[in-house]
């Protein structure tokens, strides 16, 4: 199984790094599960993330293996992707091929812009709920959900909700027991001090 994380200019760091850590730990610690995690970008140039980190994708769009799960993170960089026909076509094609389409934060705006969320429930960062509704037709915006699983599309709310969504996906694709194993391995037990 190949899980791809999309990278683009001004991507929010934790939106991609949180799910990457969860899925990467699954792949690394349980190699018999045959999971591969890749970062996909347009080219081999460094990508500046929202908070200044610079990263490189290790695969290129159109030149990668078939993708079973796509994680589309958010960040201010998603705005530049809206209306881009190549991005719309890419996500539509992946959805039509049976890829499980997941998003974190405003990554859901990219899916809405491509028509993938029309008539479906979805969520995003709390500050972008109206924008999500406006980008599609009859999107059932769920402001109080950390993530929404609607079959072949799973959307997560802002930033850390992507980690929860990733554990949900492991539970769905493998088992709740494996999701608990990975959670224990990375010591994910959020108890914020404030």
With bands split at pLDDT 50, 70 and 90, how would you rate the model's confidence at 74? Answer: very high
In a domain, 27, yes or no: yes
Whole-number pLDDT of residue 192? 87
pTM score of the predicted model: 0.97
Whole-number pLDDT of residue 28? 98
The C-alpha atoms of residue 171 and residue 76 are separated, in whole angstroms, by 30
Percent over 70 (pLDDT), the chain: 100
Walk across the sheet containing 153-156 and list its strands: 59-60, 36-41, 2-6, 69-72, 100-104, 153-156, 147-149
Asked if pLDDT for residue 99 goes beyond 90, the answer is yes
Whole-number pLDDT of residue 65? 87
In a domain, 88, yes or no: yes
As a whole number, the mean pLDDT across the chain is: 97
CATH number at residue 22: 3.40.50.880
Asked if pLDDT for residue 127 goes beyond 90, the answer is yes
Whole-number pLDDT of residue 64? 85
Angle, helices 176-185/13-29, rounded to nearest 10 degrees: 110
Whole-number pLDDT of residue 191? 87
In a domain, 191, yes or no: no
In a domain, 194, yes or no: no
User: Which residue range is the domain that position 19 belongs to?
Assistant: 2-185
Question: Whole-angstrom distance between the N-terminal and C-terminal Cα of the chain?
Answer: 38
Nearest Cα residue to 38 out of 63, 9, 12, 10: 63
Read off the pLDDT of each residue in 37-57 and give the average, rounded to a whole number.
97
pLDDT in tens, 5-18: 999 999 999 999 99
- Concatenating the DSSP letter of every residue in 125-181 gives -GGGHHHHHHTSSS-EE-TT-SEEE-SSEEEE-STTHHHHHHHHHHHHHT-HHHHHH
Catalytic residue, candidates 91, 100, 105, 135: 105
In a domain, 193, yes or no: no
With bands split at pLDDT 50, 70 and 90, how would you rate the model's confidence at 165? Answer: very high
Please count the structural domains in the chain: 1
In a domain, 190, yes or no: no
In a domain, 141, yes or no: yes
The pair phi, psi for residue 10, each rounded to 5°, is 65, 25
In a domain, 153, yes or no: yes
With bands split at pLDDT 50, 70 and 90, how would you rate the model's confidence at 21? Answer: very high
Instruction: Please confirm, yes or no, whether 105 is among the known catalytic residues.
Output: yes
């Amino acid at each position: 199984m190949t899980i791809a994380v999309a990278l683009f200019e001004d991507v929010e760091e934790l939106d991609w790094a949180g799910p990457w850590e969860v899925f990467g730990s699954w792949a690394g610690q349980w190699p018999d599960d045959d999971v591969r995690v890749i970062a996909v970008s347009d080219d081999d140039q460094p990508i500046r993330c929202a908070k200044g980190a610079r990263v490189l994708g290790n695969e290129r769009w159109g030149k990668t293996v078939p993708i079973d799960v796509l994680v589309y993170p958010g960040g201010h960089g998603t705005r530049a992707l809206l209306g881009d026909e190549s991005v719309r076509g890419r996500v539509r094609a992946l959805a039509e091929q049976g890829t499980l389409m997941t998003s974190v934060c405003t990554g859901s705006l990219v899916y809405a812009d491509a028509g993938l969320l029309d008539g479906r429930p979805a969520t995003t960062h709390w500050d972008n709920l109206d924008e999500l509704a406006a980008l599609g037709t009859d999107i059932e915006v769920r402001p109080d959900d950390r993530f929404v699983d609607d079959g072949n599309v799973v959307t997560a709310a802002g930033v850390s909700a992507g980690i929860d969504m990733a554990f949900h996906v492991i539970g769905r694709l493998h088992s709740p027991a494996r999701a608990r194993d990975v959670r224990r391995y990375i010591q994910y037990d959020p108890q914020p001090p404030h």
